[in-house]
Amino acid sequence: MANPSVLLAPTNITTGYAIPTLAAGNNRILLITVCMYNGGGSAKLPPTVTVNGVTAAWVSGDAVTTTQTRLASGTYIVLESDIATVSGQVVSTSGQTGTVKNMSVMMIQDSKQGAPTTSANFYQTTSGVTTTISLARAVDSLTVLASYSSAGSQTLTNPAKDVTVNFASGGSLNVGYENDTANTSNSTSSSVGGGHYVAMHVMNFEVFVARTVDTINGDSVNPDIDVSATNTAATTGLGTITSLTIGDGTRTLAAIPSMPSGDGTFSFTWPYADGVVAPLFGSVTATFSDGTNSAAMAGNTPVPSGYASVTFSGATDMSDHHLGHVLTLTDGTRLYYPTANGAVVNPDGSLGFTSLPYTFNTMLHNVHGGGDGTIVNVIVDITASGAVVITSTSKSHYIGLGLGIGF
């Protein structure tokens, strides 16, 4: 696996604070390093850094709430989703203490989106010493070291200095970066001459890893997800699956992963049952998460085998040969019913069968009028004369003769 790479080496933008036109790339992160100075006084980073309406997030260096003596430095980032918006635009700051002595921008690509995985900060006023920070580094990562000093010359180690930005009235920002492929724990250091302050921070960025749902039940495009059987899924780039949800954009149901694994195939079941709030049968999205990262796939939940569905509309007949005799058939409520014995349920609640008497299990889906999508199981008896009688109802919803559903 490759490491994150540098698309734009550290570049001074103090004059006008204008970001250069940024090169195209994938999974980019723009680093904006701000150096504050206040000779003989206090310095504090700006709590707000914006570029063309995009707020850059502080990720490392002196905290924006911390006041330092004379100088302070920190790095803010803009992620791939906003790179096009900030390219070529001007950086603005507010709320800082002291003068913005320098700004430097750097851009990397193929980076995990977000703050650096690890970072550390060091500030010292002791003269003529070497400042050292230990930092654990991830496999296939990029480490960036930024050291701001009131001195004009510094020596950086691990990573070595790549760029020096000298300030007009003395002092400098020195930046180094290097790849790490072996998950080593390295120390970084900066040394300057006597009588100078140093504000240094180091950041470790992990490589971007694609996270995908590869297949569900062996299909990679719009797979069917069976609500009444065990399903299988295969993912890439995720750890052990800790949660799995299936939703239709309005209602979401948590599935139950069984024997989950990282980057492997595992099974899951969907507790689609009486009293459960569930999405409609049809188009759904299955989202798999390992607790930190997630991936999703669009799919379909077919009506269970041997069942048909009907959505009630204009069901006003209350005679004893209609479902409206025992159920309140509000427009928009969906009914799933077995098709055995030639059973047919029409949108107006009228019924058809090959022979009578007949008993069948039905499942009502409470989705009318913005209903929460609760499933209600009902057992309906059709007498020899065609009269409709309910013999068993959902334990979580009261359904009685002529009283309707307690939605």
Residue 397: how many CB atoms within 10 A of its CB? 18
Main-chain dihedrals φ then ψ at residue 251, nearest 5 degrees: -115, 140
Q: What is the pLDDT of residue 337?
A: 84
Report the DSSP beta bridge partners of residue 283: 300
Task: Looking at 224-289, list the stretches that DSSP marks H as alpha helix, in order from N- to C-terminal side.
Answer: none
Alpha carbons 230 and 256: distance in angstroms, whole number: 10
**Coil, helix or strand at residue 81:** helix
- Give the model confidence (pLDDT) of 370-407 as tens digits: 556 778 777 778 888 777 776 655 433 333 222 233 22
Report the DSSP beta bridge partners of residue 310: 335
Main-chain dihedrals φ then ψ at residue 60, nearest 5 degrees: -160, 160
Alpha carbons 399 and 407: distance in angstroms, whole number: 10
Residue range 345-359: mean pLDDT, rounded: 83
* In the chain, where the domains are located: 5-206, 212-301, 307-405
Closest by Cα among 257, 245, 254, 404 to 324: 404
Residue range 239-247: mean pLDDT, rounded: 86
Closest by Cα among 142, 271, 147 to 201: 147
How confident is residue 126, by pLDDT bands cut at 50, 70 and 90? low
- Do the bridges between strand 163-166 and strand 5-12 make them parallel or antiparallel, or are there none, so unpaired? unpaired
The answer to whether 296 touches 288, Cβ cutoff 8 Å, is yes
Which pTM was predicted? Answer: 0.62
- Give the model confidence (pLDDT) of 297-325 as tens digits: 999 988 888 888 888 888 766 666 777 77
Structure tokens at 203: 């950041």
